[in-house]
């Protein structure tokens, strides 16, 4: 019998989504319990009190730097952690887009910038404000802000960056807005599970192309459980964002079954070694 600990996401990193985030964790644990696993669930604060020898698997929705440090100690002790601490860290925007670009994942043009002082010159590196630029928090403090702003002028850009600084955020990712259909998607690595949501326009081969790009991105980040957003237009499919362990709210029960199956497969493979 495998012993499983589920760790909820920190409330501050789950703005307005605490209950739906908890719901997917609870659903996965229920599926694993149905398969004979013993399960427990707790908040990230509990991690410091946990003896790693008591668990075979930790399901981690937590995001803070402190939580990731503790998850690494579990991994070093031989516990399977899904998603791994390093893969969660790679989803911070100060690392995310560099990794995706290096892996050849098509993304909109974008730049990581250190936020300058008010009205200081900003090198946009070819980004066109008039077409819309998304301003995203890109350091650990930005995880809890929930603030992604679209701007179309230098004044709006400066206002957005000033608001970030007021929250203690020092880095931002500027991403060019693209026209097209925005698609939210969910996936589980190692399983035949990929679900796009919101794809209303039809382009030849878009489903398979989107799945290929999303899986390529998840592999580059090392994620097992993931979701994100993409833009689909006549030029192709472009990944906007990728997240570790989303809420899977529209497809919770289907996703829970796929996640549980993947975890059991990974645990069984370890047991055979």
For residue 144, what pLDDT band results from cuts at 50, 70 and 90? low
Distance set, CA 210 to CA 50, 101, 179, 197, 215 (Å): 39, 16, 16, 11, 8
* 3-state SS, residue 111: strand
C-beta of residue 6 within 8 angstroms of C-beta of residue 41: yes
The pTM of this model reads 0.94
Is pLDDT above 70 for 157?
A: yes
**Assigned token pair, 57:** 């698997």
pLDDT for the residue numbered 143: 67
Q: Which positions ≥6 away from 204 have C-beta within 8 Å?
A: none
> Which of 54-68, 111-125, 180-194, 196-210 is least confident?
196-210
Q: Which positions ≥6 away from 37 have C-beta within 8 Å?
A: 1, 2, 3, 4, 57
CB-facing half-sphere around the CA of 194: CA atoms within 13 A:
18
Question: What are 158-180's pLDDT values in tens digits?
Answer: 999 999 998 889 999 999 999 99
C-beta of residue 55 within 8 angstroms of C-beta of residue 32: no
**Assigned token pair, 262:** 């993947």
pLDDT for the residue numbered 186: 97
Question: What are 61-95's pLDDT values in tens digits?
Answer: 999 999 999 999 999 999 999 999 999 999 999 99
Is pLDDT above 70 for 188?
A: yes
Q: Which residues of 69-86 are buried (b: 16+ CB within 10 A; e: fewer)?
A: ebbeebeeeebbbbbbbe
What is the spatial distance between Cα 52 and Cα 13, in angstroms, rounded to a whole number?
A: 24
* 3-state SS, residue 12: helix
* 3-state SS, residue 43: coil
Question: What are 199-253's pLDDT values in tens digits?
Answer: 665 565 788 899 999 999 999 999 999 999 999 998 999 999 999 999 999 999 9
Helix (H), strand (E), coil (C) string for 184-237? EEEEECCCCEEEEECCCCCCCCHHHHHHHHHHHHHHHHCCCEEEEEEEEECCEE
Considering only residues 3 and 46, tell me which one the structure prediction assigns the higher pLDDT: 3
CB-facing half-sphere around the CA of 272: CA atoms within 13 A:
6
Question: Mean of the pLDDT values across residues 102-107?
Answer: 98
For residue 130, what pLDDT band results from cuts at 50, 70 and 90? very high
Q: Which domains does the chain have, with CATH numbers?
A: 3-83+249-272 (3.40.50.2300), 109-176 (3.30.1490), 181-244 (no CATH)
């Amino acid at each position: 019998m495998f012993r499983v600990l589920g760790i909820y996401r920190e409330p501050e990193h789950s703005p307005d989504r605490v209950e739906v985030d908890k719901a997917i964790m609870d659903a996965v644990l229920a599926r694993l319990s149905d398969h004979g696993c013993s399960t427990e669930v707790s908040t990230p604060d509990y991690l410091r009190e946990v003896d790693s020898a008591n668990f075979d698997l930790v399901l981690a929705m937590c995001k803070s730097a402190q939580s990731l440090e503790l998850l690494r100690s579990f991994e070093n002790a031989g516990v399977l952690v899904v998603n791994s601490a390093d893969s969660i860290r790679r989803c911070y925007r100060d690392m995310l887009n560099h990794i995706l670009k290096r892996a050849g994942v098509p993304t909109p043009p974008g730049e990581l910038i250190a936020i300058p002082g008010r009205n200081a010159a900003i090198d946009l590196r070819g980004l066109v404000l008039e077409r819309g630029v998304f301003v995203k928090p890109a350091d650990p403090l930005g995880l809890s802000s929930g603030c992604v702003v679209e701007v179309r002028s230098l004044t709006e850009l400066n206002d957005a960056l000033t608001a970030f600084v007021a929250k203690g955020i020092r880095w931002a990712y500027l991403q060019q807005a693209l026209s097209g259909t925005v698609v939210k998607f969910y996936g589980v690595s190692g399983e035949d599970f990929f679900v796009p949501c919101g794809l209303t326009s039809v382009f030849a081969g878009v489903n398979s192309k989107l799945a290929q790009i999303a899986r390529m991105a998840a592999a580059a980040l090392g994620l097992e459980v993931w979701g994100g957003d993409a833009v689909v237009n006549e030029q192709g499919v472009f990944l906007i964002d990728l997240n570790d362990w989303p809420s899977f709210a529209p497809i919770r029960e289907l996703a829970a079954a796929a996640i549980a199956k993947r975890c059991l497969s990974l645990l069984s493979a370890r047991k055979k070694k």
